[in-house]
Amino acid sequence: MARSWAVSEQQVEQVALVDGTGAIVGSAPRSVMRRDNLPHVVVAVLVRDPAGRVYVHRRTRTKDVFPGMHDAFVAGCLRAGEAPLVAATRELAEELGVTGVRLKPLLTDWYADSSTRHLCHVWATTYDGPVVHQVEEIAWGAWLTVDDLRDRLADPSWPFVPDGRALVERLLADGHLA
């Protein structure tokens, strides 16, 4: 007897959707959220080492948004029913293998462009242990000084995710990234 490998709607990752005030109003499969550019919640973590360098990585070419671009944040979508801090801790462990660190809240703000609209909860942490990339999501990574990061952002040949760029610029302006 042949088995059906079709994935039911309940097995598909459900992403938390929000209204214009940031209130969670439901959920949708990630594919539907991306297809319809639905407003959703994202968590982002800036990882720095004790010397103040920032961990920057390049996303794999198979990512569903901004493939192959660089980012200074470990980030991901909030799952339906998940608390933002829990999601940030999960993303940090999944993408970089970083656990047992304190996350300091920095800001919560909206971001929107032609491919994504989200409310982003942003944290920072300091970490000096080994980094282990999730191979499905991260193709390369390195510690950069803030000056090196500024230089990379100014280089048009170095593609950087637009929402991450906006966050870095905001953190620089607010003095959170010196």
Count how many domains the chain has.
1
- Is residue 7 domain-resident? no
- Residue 128: domain span: 14-174
- Is residue 8 domain-resident? no
- Is residue 27 domain-resident? yes
- Is residue 3 domain-resident? no
* 38-90: pLDDT as tens digits: 999 999 999 999 999 999 999 999 998 899 999 999 999 999 999 999 999 99
- Dmax over Cα atoms in the chain, in whole Å? 63
- Is residue 1 domain-resident? no
- Is residue 46 domain-resident? yes
Model-level pTM? 0.91
Per-residue pLDDT averaged across 133-148, rounded?
97
- Is residue 2 domain-resident? no
Check which CATH number belongs to the domain holding 73 and give it.
Answer: 3.90.79.10
Q: How confident is the model at residue 168 (pLDDT cuts 50, 70, 90)?
A: very high
* pLDDT at residue 7, rounded to an integer: 43
CB-facing half-sphere around the CA of 122: CA atoms within 13 A? 22
Q: How confident is the model at residue 10 (pLDDT cuts 50, 70, 90)?
A: very low
